[in-house]
Amino acid sequence: MSKVFTITEGLENMGALRTGGQGSVYKGRRYGPIITAVKLLPTPIHTESTDDKNFRNFQNEVEKLKKVNEEPNPNVVKILNSGITESGSFPFIEMEYIDGPDLEDLLKPPHDPIFTIKEIIKLADQLANALSHCHKVSVKHGDIKSNNVKFNIHTGNYVLLDFGLSAMSDDQRRTSIRHAGAIEFMAPEQNEGLMYFQTDVYSYGVILYELIAGQVPFPLRDNGETARNAVMLAHMETAVPDVMELRKNNLPESWSDKKKEHEMLVPAWLLKIVAKCLEKDPADRFANGIELQETLMYSSITVAGNNQQDDSWNASVLLKENERLQGLLLYYQEAENNKGQPVAAGDATPIVNDGKQVRMSKPVFVLFLIMLCGFTVFSAVVLSKFGDRIYHGVYNRVFKPSGKPADTGATVTRPKKKTDTVQQQQDSTPAVDESGIPPEVDAQADSILKGIQKNKQQKEEPQFYRDSAKTKDTSNLNF
């Protein structure tokens, strides 16, 4: 059993979690059950004084790291403490311990070599959120790679870890990169020890590329100096291979054909974001994590991509939905046409007579129609010959004057007629019609007669302007 030694007062070393050229990560334990992760930086600090350049740089960067946790973020590891080890005088950063596998483990057996589209978009969103959070407080991570992103099994979130490189000076980074193990994720400018916000954006693009394709754009074949130089040169000069071609080749054999077809429909907006992140020139990438996150959110909502592959995916969905609706339309049309037709036994549910339906045989129905037509013709003939006589008979029967004297006490107002020769009496007694017909009835009858005369006149009026002009009678023409 390895010896357990104290990193600093109150913090015990529980064993190495990961070692590398840019520092080692140990599992730490404070008094009690609290477990943390401790990042030891490789460059020792001999004197804890502001006169020491390394110590001064470390203190400045640690102050920046403290700003990361001023506002909690579910996708950024919490930084708990920092200081100098009691033995060796190595600077360390103590962070929250995340329980769960990292991306490097999730891409190895027994897991699939690639992620599903749904999980890729989830990680892209959460990692962009982490970068945006750090860049808002001017903290550059500088070491984003697949084993620095962990999946928290308790929350289901992806968390960005290990801010050790951000606490180094440019000279320390330049020296550290020569021994770095994850050179496949480094931006071209990092070969010179430079680090910008766009550097984190580049490494972000490499991670998404790896999840889509099943491998990084420029894999490291071995740990030899020649292979490392080849990868560094490829990041600076070589075009990025086709990510979709690699994804097609790395589809798991265990997936069904339907799932393989669906998982090849990677949204075009996501591919465009990856391509922009992997630009060689930092000026051609997203300026920082804030711009990256805004573009990601806007694109995922509005589906701004317009490449052929994404359009075909949208078109296929619309075509399938159109076929489904057409099938439903044909089904309902056929059902409507089959109403009233005899249905074979077992083909449909029998009609239940609830007492509100009337059934009639075909001969009776035909006889009923013949009688109805005959009655209609008979009524038309009778009305044409005797309609006027019937009208006057009914009129006289209804409005026949009664034998009782008219009520002279009632005030009756009747419209004046041009043919009316009866003079109004000088006294206040209103005039009473001798026939005994109420004035309003008389007025109504008069309006009916006038309507009949007007209709007769209209039949005799000319239909066109030329017919009226022949008779020089244009008074009835309306323009």
- Extents of the domains making up the chain: 6-316
pLDDT digits (tens, 9 = 90+) for 66-105: 888 888 899 998 888 888 887 767 888 888 889 999 999 9
DSSP annotation of 378 reads H
Q: Report the mean per-residue pLDDT for the chain.
A: 75
Number of Cβ within a 10 Å radius of residue 227: 14
Indicate the pLDDT class of residue 48, thresholds 50, 70 and 90: confident
Q: Is the bond preceding 110 in cis, omega lying within 30 degrees of 0?
A: yes
Instruction: Tell me what the mean pLDDT of segment 19-24 comes to.
Output: 58
Query: Which residues is 91 bridged to in the sheet?
Result: 84
- DSSP-based three-state secondary structure for 192: helix
What is the DSSP track for 251-316?
--TTS-HHHHHHHT---HHHHHHHHHHT-SSGGGS-SSHHHHHHHHHHHHHHT----HHHHHHHHH
Choose from 40-44, 247-251, 337-341 the range with maximum mean pLDDT. Answer: 247-251
Considering only residues 410 and 446, tell me which one the structure prediction assigns the higher pLDDT. Answer: 446
Q: What is the dihedral of CA 224, 230, 236, 240, to 10 degrees?
A: -110
pLDDT digits (tens, 9 = 90+) for 343-401: 444 444 455 555 555 666 777 777 878 888 887 877 777 777 666 666 666 566 655 55
Instruction: Tell me what the mean pLDDT of segment 425-444 comes to.
Output: 53
Considering only residues 127 and 330, tell me which one the structure prediction assigns the higher pLDDT. Answer: 127
Query: CA 92, CA 23: separation in Å to the nearest integer?
Result: 9
pLDDT digits (tens, 9 = 90+) for 135-169: 998 888 888 999 899 999 999 999 998 775 554 55
Which range among 58-62, 281-285, 318-322 shows the weakest confidence by mean pLDDT?
318-322
Q: What confidence score (pLDDT) does residue 1 get?
A: 38
Instruction: Tell me what the mean pLDDT of segment 467-474 comes to.
Output: 48
Considering only residues 272 and 421, tell me which one the structure prediction assigns the higher pLDDT. Answer: 272
Q: What confidence score (pLDDT) does residue 270 get?
A: 95
- DSSP-based three-state secondary structure for 30: strand
**CATH 1.10.3720.10 is right for the domain spanning 6-316:** no
